[in-house]
Structure 1
Amino acid sequence: MGVFALYTFIDSYNHGWEAAIFPRFASAVVLVGCILILLKAYLPYPLNLLFSEGGDFLSTDEMESTESEDSAMDKPEETGPENPVYVMMGLVTAFAVLGYLFGLLWVAPLFVLVFGRYFDLPTAITVVLIALSMVVVLGFQWIFNIQMGEGLLFEPEFLMVSGGING
């Protein structure tokens, strides 16, 4: 599958820009997936679980502890602004809006930094994730040949209040 994806990615440069976007993107996703599967033995433990046979992200011990916590009625359900689901919804919304305004190249590392700090990830993992976010954004910029560092606020049309330089 990886060989076919590599061939499709390379062959997409023989076609026009509009016709090449989807095959280039789809083959890039397949290539990344193949590389992750090939390197699964070297991935950190949580990522390795995603590619293990059986496909369970939670181990059986974690599942049993989750079920026992769910059955206990003495712990109130998390709601409101401290619920991690609501925090993630807010972070993703802020990422989309700020990425549109300022450019994903600048917003992605900040998003990962805030995510890492909120969920108490170790500093080393946060730094690696920030670097990975930059690689992903720059990869999209290279594959699709678009400027990911320029948001709406950096567009010349947005900066021109009167509609043109001469007024």
Structure 2
Amino acid sequence: MSNIETTVKEKLDSNLILLFGFLSIASWAFIKSFDYPHRDAIFPRLSSLIIILTSMILITTILLPESVIQMLIPGTPTETGDGSLLGTEQYEQDDSGQEANAQSRYALVVLIVLYLVVGYLVGLLWATPLFVFAYTLWTRQRPVVIGFLVLLSFAIAYSFMNILNLSIDEGILLQVMVYGT
């Protein structure tokens, strides 16, 4: 078995699978964006290109051999002979910390799914501040920070809507209730 195959099998985990999923979906979106007129294709093309590039960077960093990582980033933890990592004492967690970390990941996934569903129903312009409010409340931010980030998220979504001429203020419920279609 080659060195690359061994490295991939050792490092194949949920993060890598998720990154390949992002890469696949973003590549598909980038290709499909050419089916639309130039002005309408700008946003999906740029956002999918950003996702493709960041996914490729992250995949590359995960699959790099330890020696290359050491050469590029001095001071990173290295493996010892017994399989443990040197320099990771401060990162050690007990079982309760790992369980809390897993619960946070699941909660974040639920929030993201709710964001997508609510965004589809009422529009992303309105769902974005709700998502930011829920997320910042869940992470126990100060009320001033929550208010600022909610307003900032609305301003960013509103700017996207106006600059790129996107109709992200209308969800399926608004279309049914107002337009009857």
TM-score when normalising by structure 2: 0.49
Q: In the superposition, relative to structure 1, how do residues 104 and 19 fare at CA in structure 2: closer, same or farther (>3 Å)?
A: same
For residue 72 of structure 1, report the CA deviation from its aligned partner.
5.1
Which one of 110, 129, 147 corresponds to residue 149 of structure 2? 129
Q: CA RMSD in A?
A: 3.8
Amino acid at match of 2:89: S
Distance 1:157 1:113 in 2: 26
Shift of 1:156: 3.8
Is residue 2:47 matched to residue 1:20? no
> Match for 1:85 among 105, 117, 125?
105
Equivalent residues in 2 for 1:10-159, closer than 5 Å: 18-23=37-42, 26=46, 67-68=88-89, 70-71=91-92, 73=94, 75=96, 77-78=98-99, 83-156=103-176
Please, which runs of 5 or more residues in structure 1 have no aligned partner?
1-16, 31-53, 56-65
SS in 2 for 1:97: helix
Q: Does the CA-based 8 Å contact 1:116-1:126 persist in structure 2?
A: yes
Q: Structure 2: 5+ residue runs without aligned partners?
A: 1-35, 51-71, 74-86
Q: Report the Cα distance in structure 2 between the residues aligned to 1:109 and 1:152, rounded to whole angstroms.
A: 18
Give aligned-pair identity as a percent.
24
Post-superposition CA distance 1:102-128 (Å, at most 9, x none): 111221111111111110111111111
C-alpha contact 1:102 1:151 (8 A) present in aligned 2: yes
SS in 2 for 1:155: helix
Corresponding residue number in structure 1 for 2:82 = none
Aligned 8 A contact 1:153 1:159 in 2: no
Alignment CA distance shift 1:23-1:96 (3 Å): closer
What TM-score, normalized by structure 1, do the two folds share?
A: 0.52
Query: How many angstroms apart in 2 are the aligned matches of 1:79 and 1:125?
Result: 24
What displacement does 1:74 show?
A: 5.9
Q: 1:76 and 1:140, CA in 2 relative to 1: closer, same or farther beyond 3 A?
A: closer
- The one-character-per-residue Cα deviations of 1:8-50 (angstroms, maximum 9, x if unpaired) are xxxxxxxxx82124446749x99xxxxxxxxxxxxxxxxxxxx
